[in-house]
A and B are shown apart, each in its own frame.
Chain A
Amino acid sequence: MLVKQISVFIENKSGRLAEVTKTLGDNGIDIKALSVADTADFGVLRLIVNRPDDAERILRDAGFAVSRTAVIAIGVADVPGGLSVALGILEAGGVAIEYMYAFIGKMKDEALVILRVENPEKAIEVLGGKGIQVLAAETVYGL
């Protein structure tokens, strides 16, 4: 159920994001979801892609500082308050969220959200127990 997220260190300089996405595009890597966390001097680009192992190798070979993190992907009802239901379940279950971001696309009537939590196994368990759909990694890569 754990999804491989690729993180890339990016300096706050113009053209850097373009460089990363071009490197991936040239190698046929398709970006499924992304977010950028930034500070005054640098940012961390987080990516969900179709072929995470390849993407990691390609970016590293291109000279980027890359790391890999396990995240989970959930589908929530695409209606007002849909996300808060899932987050409420995690809170009640004592799972802290470090960060989260939404998918670019969606699946039927569900919005897809990527969650980075302290304890992903436990998150899967509490969400699953309350009927929230946790997506299989292969499903995410193939979206």
Chain B
Amino acid sequence: MLYWNRTCECMPRDEMMKLQTERLIAAVNRVYHNVPFYREKMQARGLEPGDIRTLDDLKKLPFSYKKDLRDTYPYGMFAVPLSEIVRIHASSGTTGKQIVVGYTRKDLDTWSEVMARTLVSANVTRESFVQIAYGYGLFTGGLGAHYGAERIGASVIPASGGNTRRQIQIMADFGTTTLACTPSYALYMAEEIEEAGIKKGDLKLKSGVFGAEPWSLEMRKQIEERLGIMAIDIYGLSEIIGPGVASECSCQNGLHVQEDHFIPEIIDPETEEVLPPGSKGEIVFTTITKEGFPLIRYRTRDLSMLTYEACDCGRTTVRMEKVTGRSDDMLIIRGVNVFPSQIESVLLHIGETTPNYQLIVDRVDNLDVLEVDVEMTPSMFSDEIKQIADIERKIRKELDWVLGINAKVKLVEPKSIARSEGKAKRVIDRRKL
């Protein structure tokens, strides 16, 4: 099977533009009438739904930001009555509060469709055994991949994240053919497999769909060689739908955006000006079919580039370049989004004032590790070793609660964190991605 949906994936450009235009007009009408947030923003610009008639008119519409999702928490951006929502997911926000997203039955159908297309790019068929080692739960990775694989009719193994030894046992005994997880976890598994003395020839593994964090071509090479598979990069974010927004094909040369559902634009993150194809900038998405939680011109903060050139695989959809960075300070650690501001708000609860801190991210044995160095303040320091150790423990527990990440907390001397122009450098990322 070459494509899951040849009609949509190989649609001539003029037809795709026509389809997108129709869907964009309908989407703008829906949000204008159903979501006060969009109506007010459009009215502030003197815009009415009738002003959006072509794809080119998209740039007239205001952007939406992560902050808007926080300000309207939890359901303020939903565009249907809550009784129509059949699924809720959530991802971490910038300061502790989560971003909540909702799906109607049709949205789940769309999501399964785009994930099915993604998995077919990795040669998944009805005969495949797909082991899903993304976390299940509020995180969209697990269930997103799950429904896509089920749509194809593959045998789904919902292993969820963690317990690597069991994952490997399942892989060997159940005959897993496709693995879905974060790339760093795939590499970690490769190592454990080698350590367990299992030869890659003993496994039936043929492909993997990896995403939720940035990874380099070097890392891909390693995963492919050590597991003996083809490794496909997939892209998505909860706000847009979850995994399935875009995916590489077997050409591994850019990620095909599922354009009949999500329109991408590249903008200059500073001026917010739309840039022509081939320019590097921040990728912005507009969902044109989503019912529950539609987003207009959502600023992803991910840096990429678009190309409309034909791909050797035969798909005609626009391709986005592998995401190379962020236009904000967000870090992705073991697939979890982490903002320094979240850590700041945790520290504010501990001491009387926010101490200076620094985040040191590294990759040890292919797993991301986060160390949080916190400068000791007079209000935190006492003569008792136990009390200091208690502060470290308290910070660690709070961080785990807010971020869902086990960080190493280290108290350091006052003024010991390097400063530039009076401000401490917040993040040191030593990972070589």
Contacts and interface: CB of A to CB of B under 8 A. Distances in A.
Contact of A41 (B381, B382, B410, B416): B410
A6 B386 CA distance: 17
Interface string A48-88: 00000000000010011111010000000000000000000
Chain B facing A: main interface SS: loop
A11 B416 contact: yes
A106 interface: no
A67 B383 CA distance: 6
B44 interface: no
A122 interface: no
A49 to B, nearest CB: 15
B412 A63 contact: no
B196 interface: no
B414 interface: yes
B138 interface: no
Interface string B344-381: 00000000000000000000000000000000111011
A16 B383 contact: no
B88 interface: no
A58 to B, nearest CB: 15
B415 interface: yes
B369 to A, nearest CB: 15
Given A9-B411, A63-B414, A37 B382 contact: no
B55 to A, nearest CB: 56
Contacts of A60: 378
Nearest to A60: B378
Nearest to B385: A37
A39 B385 contact: yes
Contact of A65 (B378, B384, B410): B378
B388 interface: yes
Contacts of B410: 41-42
Contact of A11 (B378, B382, B389, B412): B412
Contacts of A37: 385
Interface string A88-104: 00000000001000000
A46 B383 contact: yes
A10 interface: yes
B14 interface: no
B195 interface: no
Given A39-B389, A42-B388, A65-B376, A10 B413 contact: yes
B383 A11 contact: no
B411 A42 contact: yes
A112 B167 CA distance: 61
Interface centre among A9, A60, A98 (most CB of B within 10 A): A9
Contacts of A10: 413
Interface string B396-429: 0000000000000011111110000000000000
Nearest to A63: B415
Interface string A1-45: 000010101110000100000000000000000000101011010
Contacts of A41: 410-411
Nearest to B375: A65
A65 B416 CA distance: 11
B130 to A, nearest CB: 43
Interface string B10-46: 0000000000000000000000000000000000000
B383 A7 contact: yes
A65 B383 contact: no
A9 B376 contact: yes
Contact of A69 (B383, B411, B413): B383
A37 B384 CA distance: 9
Contacts of A16: 413
B385 A64 contact: no
A65 B377 contact: yes
A69 to B, nearest CB: 4
A9 B385 contact: no
Nearest to B416: A11
Nearest to B389: A39
A9 B416 CA distance: 12
A107 B410 CA distance: 41
A57 to B, nearest CB: 13
A21 to B, nearest CB: 15
A64 B413 contact: yes
A64 B414 CA distance: 6
A10 B413 CA distance: 6
B175 to A, nearest CB: 45
Contact of A44 (B380, B385, B412, B416): B385
A65 B385 contact: no
Interface centre among B376, B385, B412, B413 (most CB of A within 10 A): B413
10 contacts: A7-B382, A9-B376, A11-B413, A39-B389, A42-B411, A46-B383, A60-B378, A65-B377, A65-B378, A65-B414
Given A42-B388, A64-B413, A65-B381, 6 more contacts: A11-B416, A37-B385, A42-B412, A63-B414, A66-B378, A69-B383
Q: What 3 A-B pairs are tightest by C-beta distance, nearest first?
A: A7-B383, A65-B376, A65-B381
